[in-house]
Structures are given as C-alpha cells and as structure tokens.
Amino acid sequence: MAQSTQVLFSHRDLIELLIKNAGIHDGRWSLLLNLSVGTGHMAVPPDQTGPGVMVVVTSVGLQRLQDGIDAGKDAIVVDATEVNPEPK
C-alpha cells in the first residue's frame, strides 16, 4: 500500500486540535490567520510582467469570541467546553 503524502484537515478540525493542544477548556473560538502582503512586478506567465500581490500566511492561531456576540450562522466557531471539557 502506498504511503500517504498529505493529511488534510477541515477548518473545524484545526480549531479543535488547536484548542486541545493549548489546553483550552472554555469559550467559543474561531481560526485566526495572520497575513503579510507584498506587492511588486510579477511575471506570470513568464512573458507578461505586471503589478501583482503576494500574500503569505505568517501564523495560524485561535481567536476567542466575546460572550454574547453572534458570529453568524455560517461562521466556523467551536465551543471548547464541548470539544475539550475540563478534566474531573
């Protein structure tokens, strides 16, 4: 059997893994990406140069949602009390 070369996670899976790894037991959390943006002349395809933008993910983390704030029905929010309850 061939060895897998990729392991993919959904946004929700990443949030759950980060909550557990950080030892967080309460609050509602969403995924946080810090980005850096650079501009310059790009050559894509190689024979056509033009203005372009590069975006680099500089870090990935969690952001806690304030109590009482509705993130919206389509938001990817994970409740730490459900996925990583406090040990008894």
Summarize pLDDT for 51-76 with one digit per residue, the tens: 999 999 999 999 999 988 888 877 89
Beta sheet of 78-79, edge-to-edge order: 49-65, 28-43, 78-79
Q: What is the mean pLDDT of residues 13-27?
A: 98
CA distance 42 to 52: 6
pLDDT of 1 strictly over 80: no
CA distance 28 to 68: 10
Average pLDDT, the chain: 93
Domain boundaries, the chain: 11-83
Q: What pLDDT was estimated at residue 45?
A: 86
Q: How confident is the model at residue 88 (pLDDT cuts 50, 70, 90)?
A: confident
State how far the alpha carbon of 33 is from the alpha carbons of 30, 39, 51, in Å. Answer: 10, 19, 25
Summarize pLDDT for 29-48 with one digit per residue, the tens: 999 999 999 999 999 888 89
Structure tokens at 31: 């995924």
